[in-house]
Amino acid sequence: MSDLLDRHSTDSCDPNGYTVCRETNLEILFADPWLVAINKPSGLLVHRTGLDFEATTFAVQALRDQLGRPVYPAHRLDRATSGVLLFALDREVLPALAMTFETGTVLKHYVAIVRGWPEETFQIDYPLKRFTVADGDGAPTGAVQEAHTAVCRLGSVELPMRVDRYPTSRYALVGLTPTTGRRHQLRRHLRHVHHPIIGDTTYGQGRHNRLFREQYQSHRLLLHARYLHLTHPITGDTLHLSAPLPTDFTNVLKALTMDTGTFGHLSD
């Protein structure tokens, strides 16, 4: 079922430059006796972490308070990423739900705005080092793991603004389908192919991020978890969970003349 509640306010930034989510009413995308899915705003941590001791609002606690019962996250989204986030409502359901993610049977689809014009469709098969506890928020030092992402260009624009050495600047809207789930995989993969995500203060390019802040008032990572398709661990039904693009994302697309109306499936 769908229960549209008030959106989060995202009117301040953390030390890394990302928008920080302050309020606690969450948009419920799906709920039944065993599962609940939300449209996580950019700037909201999933749960308490040692990487940010100053954070006071978390999706787990906010949803627990909103529903009046415990919730258990089945997967993770970076703080700066918005979109579909799935929880178990029963601790006994969590192992079966988590197993669907671990075995790669969950289809995940994201959209992002990136620098440059990528090829129309291509695969990124580039191994990534695993993050260890000792790494904190530094570079990963763990074992190398295989990582795969499918990329599809959905739209493009060329702005009459000089950011680098060229007189114009190119950007694209891309669809991303990862088949592995490494930490920061999409952000690291897109940096590897020289098309970093706009708003990424870790793997992106500061000059382009600055342009979007100053010209389009965009203070977030432009990465959104749009779809999640999986088999329900209890009923066996196929779940198609989708999270509409948030206003701060669609406003940028419209300003770039890449209106979501051109990609009707994104604005549903």
Catalytic residue among 65, 78, 125, 268: 78
For 76-108, give the DSSP string: ---TT-EEEEEEESSTTTHHHHHHHHHTT--EE
Task: Specify whether 3 is catalytic.
Answer: no
* Largest distance between two CA atoms of the chain: 58
DSSP 220: S
- Strand partners of residue 129: 144
| Amino acid (one-letter) located at 253 | L
Q: Which residues of 14-48 are buried (b: 16+ CB within 10 A; e: fewer)?
A: eeebbbbbeebebbbbbbeebbbbbbbbbbbbbee
User: Where are the strands (E) in 130-188, listed by range?
Assistant: 144-145, 148-159, 169-178
Q: How far is CA 177 from CA 172, 185, 226, in A?
A: 16, 11, 10
Please state, in angstroms and rounded to a whole number, the distance separating the CA atoms of residues 160 and 169: 7
In sequence order, what are the residues at sequence separation of 6 or more whose Cβ sits closer than 8 angstroms to the Cβ of residue 83?
39, 40, 77, 110, 224, 225, 226, 243
Q: Which residues are catalytic?
A: 78
